[in-house]
Amino acid sequence: MGWPLVGNMLFFLQSFKDGNLGSFFSYFVTRFREGGMYKAFMFGKPSIIITKVEISRKIFMDDENYDRGDGVDNDMVNVLFEETIYLFHGCHGLPFNIPGSAYNRGLKARRAMAKIYQYILDERKVMIGKNKTREKSNILLDMMLNTQDGDGGFNDEKIIAMLVSYTFAGFESVALVASTAIMYLEKHPHFLDKAKEEQEDIVKRRSSPNEGLNFHEIKEMKYLSNILKPSQPPFFPLGVGPKMCPGANLARLEVSVILHYFLLNYRVEQVNPESKIEPPRNCLVKFKKI
């Protein structure tokens, strides 16, 4: 479990900074043998580290019942976005709750996000209360609130914790998947050319050159869709099975839009070829318009 208080975080942060998380995982394999699942103390909590694809797949797939998922004003969205940035930085800082530290600011961000979500919950409860027929809703928040009437339901604290987790989990996933896809396409020109050809065909079929990308065209991106799915291990960018990211379809939609305009208009050249692209951390590139 590492050192007292800080656990395994010092080694993790150093490996993360060096862009070599493989050395962090190799430490557990070397010291405790090839088990595939290890105990650790991360971000101030007892944690589990998994290093084998088959164990990851089992964890993703062994749950038969997994819930998936109105309007919020822009000011709230902006505040949530800003606080999520502080929360994200706090989770990557040393777990010392000292005023002025990233960890301390992250805890404040967590409390600020909780207040916003509490306000949203209260508003939603009023709306549900007005719906006397209590029609079945497929909105995840409504599902959780409706369980509060029975035994074993979610209280507000649990619901808020889940909402914060979803916000945090989706913070940089789209950017990371999109940038990873771009770098892999650049490394494999054959696949890039085929993906680009598909996007050019979509543009040619438009009745007017001034038309923008629409949802029907995105559904026609069969080749690009296969690139974004690599359903085979060890790549699970959005999870798999019952524990797949609830926003996976939205994330693929967003990445498809990004790649459409990238393939038609841009190329990238890696400035520091020695930097790894798995994922593209500290990978510097120049964008070229074509």
152/164: higher pLDDT:
164
**Which residues, other chains included, contact 224 with Cβ-Cβ below 8 Å and sequence gap of 6+?**
195, 198, 199, 256, 259, 260
Residue 65 has pLDDT above 50, yes or no: no
Residue 132 has pLDDT above 60, yes or no: no
Q: Are residues 82 and 165 in the same domain?
A: yes
**Residue at token pair 């694809």:** 53
**Does 65 fall in a domain?**
no
Residue 231 has pLDDT above 80, yes or no: no
Q: Are residues 114 and 189 in the same domain?
A: no
Query: What is the SS3 assignment for 268?
Result: strand
**Which residues, other chains included, contact 288 with Cβ-Cβ below 8 Å and sequence gap of 6+?**
266, 267, 268, 269
Q: How confident is the model at residue 202 (pLDDT cuts 50, 70, 90)?
A: very high
Q: Are residues 178 and 269 in the same domain?
A: yes
Q: Are residues 164 and 189 in the same domain?
A: no
Q: Are residues 243 and 221 in the same domain?
A: yes
Mean pLDDT across 148-174: 76
Asked which of 169, 196, 230 is the last residue of a domain, the reply is 169
Q: To the nearest whole number, what is the mean pLDDT of the chain?
A: 79
The model's pLDDT over 264-290, given as tens digits with 9 standing for 90+, comes to 999 998 888 777 766 666 778 899 998
Mean pLDDT across 232-249: 68
Q: What pLDDT does residue 191 have? A: 92
Please tell me the least confidently modeled range out of 97-106, 166-175, 193-202, 204-213.
Answer: 166-175
Q: What pLDDT does residue 72 have? A: 53
Kindly report the three-state secondary structure assignment for every residue of 197-262.
HHHHHHHHCCCCCCCCCCHHHHHCCHHHHHHHCCCCCCCCCCCCHHHCCCCHHHHHHHHHHHHHHH
Mean pLDDT across 240-267: 84
45/108: higher pLDDT:
108
Q: What pLDDT does residue 68 have? A: 38
**Does 36 fall in a domain?**
yes
Q: Are residues 179 and 271 in the same domain?
A: yes
Q: What pLDDT does residue 60 have? A: 65
48/138: higher pLDDT:
48
**Does 126 fall in a domain?**
yes
**Does 4 fall in a domain?**
no
**Does 129 fall in a domain?**
yes
Q: Could you tell me what percent of the chain has a pLDDT over 70? A: 82
Asked which of 169, 200, 231 is the last residue of a domain, the reply is 169
* Domain residue limits at 241: 173-289
**Does 58 fall in a domain?**
no
**Does 60 fall in a domain?**
no
Mean pLDDT across 216-236: 77
For the chain, how many structural domains are there in total? 3
Q: What pLDDT does residue 69 have? A: 39
* Cα end-to-end distance, the chain, whole Å: 51
Residue 67 has pLDDT above 70, yes or no: no
**Does 69 fall in a domain?**
no
Q: Are residues 205 and 272 in the same domain?
A: yes
Please tell me the least confidently modeled range out of 32-36, 138-142, 185-189.
Answer: 138-142
Q: What pLDDT does residue 265 have? A: 93
Phi and psi at 288, nearest 5°, equal -120, 130
Q: Are residues 151 and 215 in the same domain?
A: no
Q: Are residues 109 and 88 in the same domain?
A: yes
177/236: higher pLDDT:
177
- Residues making up the chain, counted from first to last: 290
Q: Are residues 279 and 177 in the same domain?
A: yes
The model's pLDDT over 20-56, given as tens digits with 9 standing for 90+, comes to 777 888 888 888 888 888 888 887 778 888 877 777 7
Asked which of 169, 187, 202 is the last residue of a domain, the reply is 169
Q: Are residues 186 and 159 in the same domain?
A: no
Q: What pLDDT does residue 187 have? A: 85
Q: Are residues 136 and 196 in the same domain?
A: no
